[in-house]
């Protein structure tokens, strides 16, 4: 099971997010975790990819105009990924991921 942390900017974005988008994000995260735990590629519906003009920031789609960004952090538990959530919201968050 991966560990995670949220940056303050993510928390500020979260506060602005409607509850239906929060639930869609939670559902997408469950799928992301399943894929990580199974050591398989992310399912196509999550549309996980590296954010352009970055080296290690990734985006995930959780709704038609819902995006969340993260980078891989330093492992807390050996052998388990550590996700650092950076931003969440609409496609606009990709301007400053």
pLDDT in tens, 14-30: 999 999 999 999 999 99
Task: For the chain, give every domain's residue range.
Answer: 3-95
Q: What is the mean pLDDT of residues 20-42?
A: 96
For the entire predicted model, the pTM comes to 0.94
pLDDT in tens, 54-96: 999 999 999 999 999 999 999 999 999 999 999 999 999 999 9
Residue 50 has pLDDT above 90, yes or no: yes
Paired residues of 63 in beta bridges: 66
User: Do the beta carbons of residue 58 and residue 31 sit within 8 Å?
Assistant: no
Question: How far apart, in Å, are the Cα atoms of 22 and each of 39, 44, 78?
Answer: 26, 20, 29
Residue 1 has pLDDT above 90, yes or no: no
Domain covering 3-95, topology? YaeB-like fold (3.30.2310)
């Amino acid at each position: 099971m991966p560990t995670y942390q949220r940056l303050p900017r993510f928390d500020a974005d979260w506060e602005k997010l409607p509850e239906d988008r929060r639930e869609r994000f939670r559902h997408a995260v469950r799928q992301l975790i399943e894929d990580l735990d199974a050591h398989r590629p992310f399912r196509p519906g999550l549309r996980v990819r590296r954010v352009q003009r970055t080296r290690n920031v990734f985006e995930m789609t959780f709704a038609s105009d819902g995006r969340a960004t993260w980078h891989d952090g330093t492992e807390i538990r050996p052998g388990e990924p550590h996700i650092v959530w950076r931003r969440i919201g609409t496609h606009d968050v990709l301007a400053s991921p």
